[in-house]
Chains A and B, each alone.
Chain A
């Protein structure tokens, strides 16, 4: 690990003014610092700021940026009204990591693309202009949607996938004051600048994530991975589905493991709306989700896998007796 200057923020304003790298849970940042992928000169510890509460806001919920993943998953309001979020959190990482990892930090975790981690190999995300080793390389875990010819890294978060399906809003404190960024606009696709991943500017601090009023309906989070536990998603889907009189009244779907950000396709949700659930309908939704996919040799399996995961999740959420 490279040398750095450590200090503790005493207020949000103090942290924002520092322009330094923030540390809270440290589970991702310290790992990256040990690999010397992240080499901050100054690290400001924000973990003692007063941002660790979950509070009602309007008809929704305000989740402080420092709420630990384990506390968020276990919160009774989340378990009852936003169970897809509890499920996504519990499908991620380990008990130890969830006790450390924070809400804000989870949103900002970096890709686990093996070439991003391998400092001996070119990576445009780590070193802009260096090239992408994953394209044509070992890319089993990489993205198939939203990729560019500069980067095919996948976003690793489970939590953010559920928040995408829930229409969460990210509250940010920055030099110009407070901003509220819908999570759909929070992440950036790689394009020609894969090192720029979010709408945040230097010094910006995530202070909270806001959940709108509960949507009701059936909540599901289904994750397929190489191990039964404690592994990143190959494919995951968060689904919030409300049925009315035998048809799908509305559906929100977000995918993990497929793209550089939690992936949501409104055309697929629109196609489900007002329709009675059927395998053919789910297949049509999958066509819309996966249209424009650019798979590589190792990760082409994610396309049929995503199709099956979506069908199984929707059948479950629509409580179909026998989806076949």
Chain B
């Protein structure tokens, strides 16, 4: 009963006029940013960060949560209407949504996408509300070795998810972790990798790295690509979605939601992985796998539900352990830290009202998303008339102000610009940037937990495998790495076997 009282208090907080207003604004900003090709909701969240300085912590989280929930869906609008995914997670919407548009059923495709996304997001927010508190209770047993193990799991799962190129992903992750070591070390206060530049002592802020990589790199790519953004609406958009139609795709939405909730909790996975896995599973489960790619409604519904189902689930490790699993949740972590709020198990005992207001805001965001998405979808043609050059110019200005605003330090602007150039190169060469970002975020956390564990346990390096919870989490991390490297190892073993056979 106490839980429901807390949820009630959370809703009362979320319905406060200013809180509600920032949530709605966040949602609209998120849907618009997600819908604009080349501008992801992560860019929008990064650029929105300076605006949160004016807000209370719960308002800041509601604002960013709104952008997050709205932005994850927003990418599907451009996927369905112009065959350009607004975000990588919306790629399956291109495969099944755009063929529906070409058949003259854009309205129906958008209705399926909005309904499935809202359902996935809502279930995920409910999961967050009811699963996070007991998980936080469990996490109270964690000491430094357990936090270190959980951070390592987060770091290594990034590699496991990039199964096709594990070595390159590992390299990107380790480079990110190395960038995270720049500045004063957490135990002895000695500056590292200073290169004689005094500003380097304060380290490289991960928000600045993210803004550079994701916002500036993307905009520069957008100006050179000049994509065709004209909207086709053959056949007037077709009929909408009836309750009967919805009932027919309930299985797809259910499967997608389940997959999204599970994937969302894994640090490093996120909406893209959730959507692609859900699409693959639906191809097998729907019985219409051969027709996929021609505008199959189940193939649209499942990944749409999955990608929004990752949003609430991704907040579980962030709020309970203080470990962000994605760029979006990392920005939310940055916002919390800027407001002096430290996420982790103690947040659930010290600031219960804040936590439940965040939960209520996420629940509301996914409900209101239906209205916001429908509005933006209608105005999408007008939105697409804005030249990409104008959008890009403002994004760069907002990015630079955002980078400066993190610490009111101009050195951060130069760091952001350097990472912008690097982000562009990485995008063009296909070098993964997500592991690098997670390395910059989680690397310093891992080092701090590692060193404090050793300091607290007499410099005993075996402490991480002596403690049962820590050992289990590290075992899981080892399994993740083996799983990711298995195709590579199998190929090597197979090649050796073949060459031996050739000799005999």
| B and A form one assembly | no
List chain B positions with a Cβ less than 8 A from chain A. none
